């Protein structure tokens, strides 16, 4: 086995040589060397090549690829190849095919067409994993195991009969008795009381709205089921290969709400994830930064791997714009700025055929004589110079709470507003803090909050008593806690906390809300003192808090919109609405100042800054997303340019600096 490359930021991506004739393989190695590729992920979709018929294994081609990569000093992140079964398998075992909410079978012909609960699929996948681990565990190129690929991406939730049976067993373990299940699901409502476990079904298509706790539990069940599958594959690998790190690539980009990665992360030897810039988002690059902070939170603050991103366009959006010059460097270094020590791409060579032929790659259709490939080579060289950053940690004084269960619940049926998106408040506060040079750790509500000067609680609709107590304790210990609208409403069974919203945070905030007033799409409400609220409003009365801003018009005119309650040396701030950026920005300026936080560096808006630190030094990341050069005060050595800089340093438009601070 090989050590994962740590003398540089590991640079490479998914390598699919089975898509190409053998002549191309030698050229691949030559170009990988030119680009500074130090790792590849191999075999993700190779099952039909490795096992062309049941029990017939063909490893010679993979042996050859592994050997050659090893000779060239390229580390291999070897996939178990279990992400997508070959056609013969689905034909022989059609019972593995997933079924959608409406009862339609999802047929083979794309990828990941397997039911997460299928024991048949699991046995066949574990058999392949066993052969892979047995064959390659001592290979000198092997540096990491890559289990499956983006679990849940296409096959969750599955509503088939096998899942129905597995769901019942999962519920029996969770609730033990039907009385407990009935209580948790609130089945007194609409004659839903169960008297036999066998009557419980997946939340399939119904006449009208389903039971929200049933839906919520189906999310939990799906995440647990696939985690169990991952652990089974990991266990098989471990039997042969006890020392090589094992990971599976998450999908932490926003909007992918199928797995509870807080449950998954502790089982990864190193947390890895994929991220693609979603062009249709209002602030795609701010979302990229958020994703990095979230992934670092999942990794418990440790460095993580960016397994996949793209050099330019993807192929799965309605319109797929190419990246502008500079974007690839800026996007890549944003991940590193937020804790990534690996820069992986999908994929090495752009496909000639198949549904991803127009997805960008490290080697484009145009070939090596292209600006894109020259840019890739330049990025590979930068990754090589960033070796000293590897292992260091990102500094943050703000915690922002993130919970997949709350996200699932908010997206459930029959909420006060279908237009309410769990991520909106979190992304907005994070983006405005990023604009101010303030870094957030995005962490689970159960995380240790001591040590943070500010704790942001955005739309934490569903929260446990313990997490609510931990937030209150943070304020009492001196933190500034910022709770936004529609937080603390429900308990983990999605039962409303009575006596006035936001039940779990009422006392902490000194605010009692009698009724929710969601705003219509595009509707705003004026705030006294200037600015306006968007998305949401709440009929709040203070009970010990100071009113900072009230509503100036609409049905809640005169009622508090933003409040502050002193709590020991800290404070609890409440936002019943989402103010416009300028108004919220001013409030965050005040909170940051009161909390005693100094921004990472003084830079103009549009220039993103973070700091990584280790026992041996600190590195200032300056990402200039603007079309103007920017200057700032910093002295040291810029690893991107490979030059000493300071005391006044200029970072040219649409490029980046990583300065080892003197």
Q: Is the Cβ of residue 159 or residue 452 nearer to Zn ion in the bound state?
A: 159
CB atoms within 10 A of CB 296: 27
The entry of Zn ion, ligand GLA, none near residue 155 (CB within 5 to 8 angstroms by kind) is none
Minimum CB distance to ligand GLA, residue 304 (Å): 16
Minimum CB distance to ligand GLA, residue 348 (Å): 12
The entry of Zn ion, ligand GLA, none near residue 158 (CB within 5 to 8 angstroms by kind) is Zn ion
Q: Is the Cβ of residue 41 or residue 439 nearer to ligand GLA in the bound state?
A: 41
Minimum CB distance to ligand GLA, residue 275 (Å): 9
Minimum CB distance to Zn ion, residue 335 (Å): 34
Contacting residue, 144, 163, 383, 463, with Zn ion by CB under 5 A: 163
Minimum CB distance to Zn ion, residue 159 (Å): 7
Q: Is the Cβ of residue 150 or residue 287 nearer to ligand GLA in the bound state?
A: 150
The entry of Zn ion, ligand GLA, none near residue 150 (CB within 5 to 8 angstroms by kind) is ligand GLA
Contacting residue, 9, 160, 601, 659, with Zn ion by CB under 5 A: 160
CA distance 507 to 567: 11
Q: Is the Cβ of residue 346 or residue 373 nearer to ligand GLA in the bound state?
A: 346
The entry of Zn ion, ligand GLA, none near residue 536 (CB within 5 to 8 angstroms by kind) is none
The entry of ligand GLA, Zn ion, none near residue 425 (CB within 5 to 8 angstroms by kind) is none
Q: Is 147 in the site for Zn ion (CB under 5 A)?
A: no
Best CA proximity match to 80, nearest among 29, 137, 138: 137
Report the sign of the C-alpha dihedral through residues 414, 419, 421, 424, in that order.
Answer: negative
The entry of ligand GLA, Zn ion, none near residue 163 (CB within 5 to 8 angstroms by kind) is Zn ion
CA distance 547 to 611: 35
Name the one residue in this structure whose structure tokens are 């701030």. 573
Peptide bond before residue 157 is cis, with ω within 30 degrees of 0: yes
**Candidates 51, 150, 538, 608; catalytic one:** 150
Minimum CB distance to ligand GLA, residue 309 (Å): 9
Q: Is the Cβ of residue 255 or residue 555 nearer to ligand GLA in the bound state?
A: 255
CA distance 618 to 615: 8
The entry of Zn ion, ligand GLA, none near residue 591 (CB within 5 to 8 angstroms by kind) is none
Q: Is 166 in the site for Zn ion (CB under 5 A)?
A: no
The entry of Zn ion, ligand GLA, none near residue 156 (CB within 5 to 8 angstroms by kind) is none
Contacting residue, 89, 115, 572, 609, with Zn ion by CB under 5 A: 115
Tokens standing for residue 418: 């279908």
Q: Which of residues 324-383 bind Zn ion (CB under 5 A)?
A: none
Q: Is 75 in the site for Zn ion (CB under 5 A)?
A: no
Minimum CB distance to ligand GLA, residue 294 (Å): 16
Query: Does the active-site annotation cover 308?
Result: yes
Minimum CB distance to Zn ion, residue 516 (Å): 36
SS (HEC) of 329-384: HHHHHHHHHCCEEEEEECCCECCCCCCCCCCCCCECCCCCCCHHHHHHHHHHHHHH
**Candidates 308, 405, 407, 608; catalytic one:** 308
Beta bridge partners of 550: 560
CA distance 92 to 84: 15
C-alpha pair distances (Å), 461 with each of 410, 467, 499: 7, 12, 16
CA distance 82 to 639: 39
Cβ proximity of 59 and 135 under 8 Å: yes
Q: Is the Cβ of residue 308 or residue 403 nearer to ligand GLA in the bound state?
A: 308
Q: Is the Cβ of residue 36 or residue 344 nearer to ligand GLA in the bound state?
A: 344
Cβ proximity of 474 and 437 under 8 Å: no
Minimum CB distance to Zn ion, residue 164 (Å): 8
Query: Would strands 643-645 and 636-638 be described as parallel, antiparallel, or unpaired?
Result: antiparallel
Q: Is the Cβ of residue 331 or residue 435 nearer to ligand GLA in the bound state?
A: 331
Residue 315, SS3 per DSSP: coil
Q: Is the Cβ of residue 28 or residue 274 nearer to ligand GLA in the bound state?
A: 274
H or E segment to which residue 540 belongs:
strand 538-542
Minimum CB distance to Zn ion, residue 226 (Å): 11
Q: Is 236 in the site for Zn ion (CB under 5 A)?
A: no
Residue 40, C-beta contacts closer than 8 angstroms, at least 6 positions apart: 12, 13, 14, 15, 32, 69, 74, 75, 76, 77, 348
C-alpha pair distances (Å), 511 with each of 499, 547, 576, 586: 12, 10, 10, 22
**Which residues contact ligand GLA (rule: CB under 6 A)?**
149-150, 274, 276, 308, 314, 346, 356, 359
The entry of Zn ion, ligand GLA, none near residue 149 (CB within 5 to 8 angstroms by kind) is ligand GLA
Judged by CB under 5 A, which stretch of 151-159, 390-398, 464-472, 594-602 contacts Zn ion?
151-159
Query: Would strands 617-624 and 656-661 be described as parallel, antiparallel, or unpaired?
Result: antiparallel
Contacting residue, 158, 184, 237, 306, with Zn ion by CB under 5 A: 158
Report CA dihedral (409, 410, 412, 417) to the nearest 10 degrees. 160
Q: Which of residues 117-146 bind Zn ion (CB under 5 A)?
A: 117
Cβ proximity of 337 and 612 under 8 Å: yes
Q: Is 258 in the site for Zn ion (CB under 5 A)?
A: no
CA distance 267 to 154: 22
Q: Is the Cβ of residue 155 or residue 577 nearer to ligand GLA in the bound state?
A: 155
Query: Does the active-site annotation cover 134?
Result: no
The entry of ligand GLA, Zn ion, none near residue 314 (CB within 5 to 8 angstroms by kind) is ligand GLA
Q: Is 106 in the site for Zn ion (CB under 5 A)?
A: no
Tokens standing for residue 434: 């990023």
Query: 3-state SS of the chain: helix, strand, coil percent to 5?
Result: 35, 20, 45
Cite the active site residues.
150, 308
Query: Which residues contact Zn ion by CB under 5 A?
Result: 115, 117, 158, 160, 162-163
């Amino acid at each position: 086995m090989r050590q994962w490359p740590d003398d540089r930021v590991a640079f490479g991506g998914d390598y699919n040589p089975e898509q190409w004739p053998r002549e191309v393989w030698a050229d691949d190695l030559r170009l990988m060397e030119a680009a500074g590729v130090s790792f590849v992920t191999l075999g993700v979709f190779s099952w039909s090549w490795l096992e062309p018929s049941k029990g017939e294994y063909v490893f010679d081609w993979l042996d050859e690829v592994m050997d050659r990569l090893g000779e060239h000093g390229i580390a291999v992140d070897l996939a178990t190849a279990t992400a997508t079964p070959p056609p013969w398998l689905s034909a022989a075992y059609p019972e593995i095919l997933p079924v959608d909410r409406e009862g339609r079978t999802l047929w083979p012909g794309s990828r990941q067409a397997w039911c997460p609960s299928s024991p048949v699929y699991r046995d066949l996948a574990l058999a392949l994993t066993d052969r892979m681990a047995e064959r390659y565990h001592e290979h000198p190129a092997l540096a990491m195991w890559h289990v499956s690929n983006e679990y849940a991406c296409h096959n969750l939730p599955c509503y088939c009969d096998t899942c129905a049976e597995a769901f019942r067993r999962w519920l029996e373990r969770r609730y033990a008795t039907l009385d407990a299940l009935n209580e948790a699901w609130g089945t007194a409502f609409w004659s839903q009381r169960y008297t036999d476990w066998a009557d419980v079904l997946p939340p399939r298509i119904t006449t009208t709205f389903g039971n929200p706790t049933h839906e919520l539990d189906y999310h939990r069940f799906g995440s647990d089921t696939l985690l169990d599958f991952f652990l089974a594959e990991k266990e098989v690998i471990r039997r042969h290969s006890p020392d090589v790190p094992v990971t599976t690539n998450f999908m932490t980009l926003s909007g992918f709400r199928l797995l509870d990665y807080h449950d998954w992360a502790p089982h990864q030897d190193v947390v890895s994830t994929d991220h693609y810039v979603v062009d249709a988002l209002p602030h795609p690059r701010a979302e990229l930064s958020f994703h990095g902070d979230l992934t670092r939170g999942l990794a418990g603050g440790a460095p993580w791997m960016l397994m996949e991103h793209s050099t330019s366009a993807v192929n799965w959006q309605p319109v797929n714009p190419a990246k502008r010059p500079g974007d690839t460097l800026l996007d890549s270094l944003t991940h590193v700025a937020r804790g990534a020590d690996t820069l992986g791409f999908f994929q090495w060579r752009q496909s000639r055929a198949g549904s991803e032929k127009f997805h960008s790659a490290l080697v484009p259709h145009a070939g090596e004589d292209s600006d894109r490939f020259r840019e890739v080579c330049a990025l590979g060289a930068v990754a090589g110079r960033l070796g000293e950053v590897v292992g260091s940690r990102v500094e943050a004084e703000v915690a922002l709470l993130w919970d997949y269960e709350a996200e699932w619940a908010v997206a459930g049926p029959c909420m006060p507003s279908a237009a309410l998106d769990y991520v909106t408040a979190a992304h907005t506060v994070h983006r405005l803090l990023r604009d101010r040079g303030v870094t957030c750790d995005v962490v689970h509500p159960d995380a240790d909050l001591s040590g943070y000067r500010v704790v942001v609680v955005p739309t934490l609709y569903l929260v446990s008593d313990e997490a609510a107590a931990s937030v209150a304790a943070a304020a009492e210990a001196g933190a500034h806690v910022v709770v936004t609208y529609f937080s603390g409403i429900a308990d983990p069974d999605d039962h409303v906390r009575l006596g006035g919203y936001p039940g779990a945070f009422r006392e902490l905030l000194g605010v009692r809300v009698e009724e929710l007033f969601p705003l219509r799409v595009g509707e705003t409400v004026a705030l006294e003192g200037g600015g306006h609220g968007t998305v949401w409003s709440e009929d709040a009365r203070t009970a010990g808090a100071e009113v900072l801003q009230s509503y100036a018009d609409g049905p809640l005119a005169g009622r508090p919109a933003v409040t502050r309650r002193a709590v020991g040396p800290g404070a609890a701030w409440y936002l019943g609405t989402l103010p416009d950026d300028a108004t919220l920005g001013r409030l965050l300026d005040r909170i940051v100042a009161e909390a005693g936080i100094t921004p990472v560096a003084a830079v103009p808006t549009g220039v993103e800054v973070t700091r990584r630190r280790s026992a041996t030094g600190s590195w200032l990341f300056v990402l200039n997303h603007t079309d103007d050069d920017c200057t700032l005060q910093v002295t040291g050595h810029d690893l991107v340019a490979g030059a000493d800089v300071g005391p006044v340093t200029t970072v040219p438009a649409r490029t980046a600096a990583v300065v080892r601070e003197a």
